Amino acid sequence: MPLSRRSLTLALAAALPAGAALAQPVPAGWPDRPLRLVLPYTPGGGTDAVARALGARLGAALGQPVVVENRPGAGGNLATETVAGARPDGLTLLMGNQGPISVNPTLFGRNLRTDPATALDPVAMVAETPLVLVVGPATRAADLSALIGEYRAARGAMTYASPGNGAAGHLAMAMLLQQAGVEATHVPFRGAAPGLTDVAAGHIPAMISTLPSVAGLVGGGALRALAVTGDRRVPSMPEVPVVAETLPGYRVTAWYGILVPHGTPEPVRARLEEAILASLSTPELAASLEREGAVPYPMTGERFGRFIADERARWAPVIRAAGITAD
């Protein structure tokens, strides 16, 4: 018996890979107005610089300006909530990073109003930057092994600074101490600058912070860089070893990626992914990121989603073991 047109359509759809039968083109004329790129921090920081560098290239690729919107507050959760509640049309993007996306679900627990794992869809990873362990005159340590020895001898009485509870520098130091098997007292600040000032003044021995935030202080001799947290030495500090040379397997970076509200049409999400990855391949964007101490770290949305899940699972036991709680 010959197949009807409906039966033939259903048979063909069943033979296609999952999702292929439902594929739709990007809506005609999209994007038809400027895009919003929301980020969870104030202007002037590393995340802001990466967002603006990407936004300029992405706007050129899509034919519409990308307006960067700073929405700091609630440990980054305000920006997450803003984007999660936006219309899922691909015009509102989130510059996500380690804290709000993979740390806050554990840090805030039941007090987290918006879970990024269900409220947002990953589009693409953009970049990463290593952090730097720096010390000041409160310690004589010339390398990481010596600093660990001082912390061990102090039996928890020595301190370390961070930009705030749950910040990348806080978690990086907590993991370092746990892997070294030593304890220290955490002193949180409201941002990197005041913490680094206290380390340089000799009030606190050590701190882990972003490369751009410490470069001037290290270059001027106010701080000593003992180690970088990535998996390779950085060109601007070639003499500084990586933490893994002392603690094998250690690797921590600050990372940045783009997410959209859950339910954004797949063709739109795919078009954004394509435009972001193409932008990251341009020498101009790579140079802009390098000036901020970051490097392109392109990932498709699918890979980025797996990366986020792995990061969430990785940091949860560190947070619990260190007793880290939200402010």
Map out the domains of the chain as residue ranges.
Answer: 34-128+254-322, 130-245
Tell me: pLDDT of 39 over 80.
yes
Instruction: Choose between 98 and 44: higher pLDDT.
Output: 98
Identical topology for domains 34-128+254-322 and 130-245: yes
Residues 277 and 125 sit within 8 Å (Cβ to Cβ): no
Residues 6+ away with beta carbon under 8 Å from 2: none
Tell whether domain 34-128+254-322 is in CATH 3.40.190.150.
yes
Tell me: pLDDT of 38 over 90.
yes
Q: Please tell me the predicted confidence (pLDDT) of residue 7.
A: 45
Q: Please tell me the predicted confidence (pLDDT) of residue 19.
A: 43
pLDDT tens for residues 117-165?
A: 999 999 999 998 889 999 999 999 999 999 999 999 999 999 999 988 8
pLDDT tens for residues 158-184?
A: 999 998 888 889 999 999 999 999 999
Band (pLDDT 50/70/90 cuts) for residue 189 is confident
Name the 3-class secondary structure at 97: strand
pLDDT more than 90, % of the chain: 63
Segment 87-106 shows an average pLDDT of 93
pLDDT more than 70, % of the chain: 92
Task: Find the range with the poorest average confidence among 49-53, 177-181, 275-279.
Answer: 49-53
Q: What is the DSSP string of 239-307?
A: TSPBGGGTSTT---EEEEEEEEETT--HHHHHHHHHHHHHHHTSHHHHHHHHHTT-EEEEEEHHHHHHH
**Would you tell me which CATH number, out of the four given (2.40.50.840, 3.40.190.10, 1.10.533.10, 3.30.565.10), belongs to the domain 130-245?**
3.40.190.10
Report which listed range, 19-23, 155-159, 192-196, 322-326, is most confident: 155-159
